[in-house]
Amino acid sequence: MGLKIRYGRWIIFEFVIKDWPVCPYRMVQVRPAPDKNLFRGLARYKINKVEFNYRYNNLVVELKEIAERYFIKTILGADPRIVLENILPKILI
């Protein structure tokens, strides 16, 4: 999943956190499948918006209550096949 403890601190290898005080939110795109432990780990880093891969959209909807419990808003991923199916013919013409 990417969450590890090293020297007594939680480490998430998929991304790097940089603080920008003027920015009121922290948003990340993650690769692993969502589960309650991942939401708990993201909450430790005060991440409040997270986008998952489109193939996990059904699982994200099921875990929405757990995400809201940790004050994390989930963003459903867009399926590139559907997006490109509507846009690509217009571009090629």
CB 30 within 8 A of CB 54: no
Q: 80 with 55: CB under 8 angstroms? A: no
Tens digit of pLDDT for each residue in 70-87? 999 998 887 766 656 655
> In this structure, are residues 53 and 61 in contact, taking their beta carbons and an 8 Å threshold?
no
| pTM for this predicted structure | 0.62
Q: Which two tokens stand for residue 11?
A: 């480490």
Query: Model confidence over 14-57: pLDDT tens digits?
Result: 655 566 666 777 788 888 888 889 899 888 888 888 988 888 88
Q: CA geometry: angle at 57 spanning 56 and 60, to 5°?
A: 85
Q: Which of 9, 14, 16, 66 is nearest to 37 (CA)?
A: 66
In angstroms, the CA 74 to CA 77 distance is 9
Q: Are strands 9-12 and 3-6 parallel, antiparallel or unpaired?
A: antiparallel
